[in-house]
Amino acid sequence: MFTRCKGCQTMKASVTCLVFCLGLAGYGRADVAPPEATAYRATRAADGVQRVRIDGGAYFFKPNRVIVKLNVPVELAVSVDRSVIPHTFVIQAPEAGIAVDESLSSQSKSIRFTPTAVGSDPVYCRNRLLFLESHREKGMEGVLEVVE
């Protein structure tokens, strides 16, 4: 009969762990491709609020460019696909009255602010796995553009 050596069992466990970790990092997935650039110009609803739905997934936000009007309240409904990989939604533009840093889930999160300055500000996921590219570097970013 054949007996397995302990070295073979250790090697198999190591390879299994490596494949699992790379899967968590988003490598080795053929179905993950950055989406095309998509823009959405928000319109004011009857209550005066600009509402935008943003969906996140495997290292993307869609739409990845949102255009809103200056001094008009904005409500973003942001969520991500179900995944074991945690994601965040960040907009840091304190000069425009916008400071957002939220953890995301498959449940839609409502984010409200009123932009007070014209300009373009990055929107991104700040997460990163140890020793790997950040989610932002992998393409999970976009732009919030405030216009008059």
Task: Name 48's Cβ contacts closer than 8 Å, sequence gap at least 6.
Answer: 72, 73
Percentage with pLDDT > 90 across the chain: 70
What is 32-147's CATH topology? Immunoglobulin-like (2.60.40)
> Taking the domains of the chain in order of start, what are their residue ranges?
1-30, 32-147
Mean per-residue pLDDT of the chain: 85
Confidence of residue 37 (pLDDT cuts 50, 70, 90): confident
Task: Name 129's Cβ contacts closer than 8 Å, sequence gap at least 6.
Answer: 24, 25
Please state the pTM of the whole predicted model.
0.77
CA-based max dimension of the chain: 79
> What is the tens place of the pLDDT at every residue in 88-105?
999 999 999 999 999 999
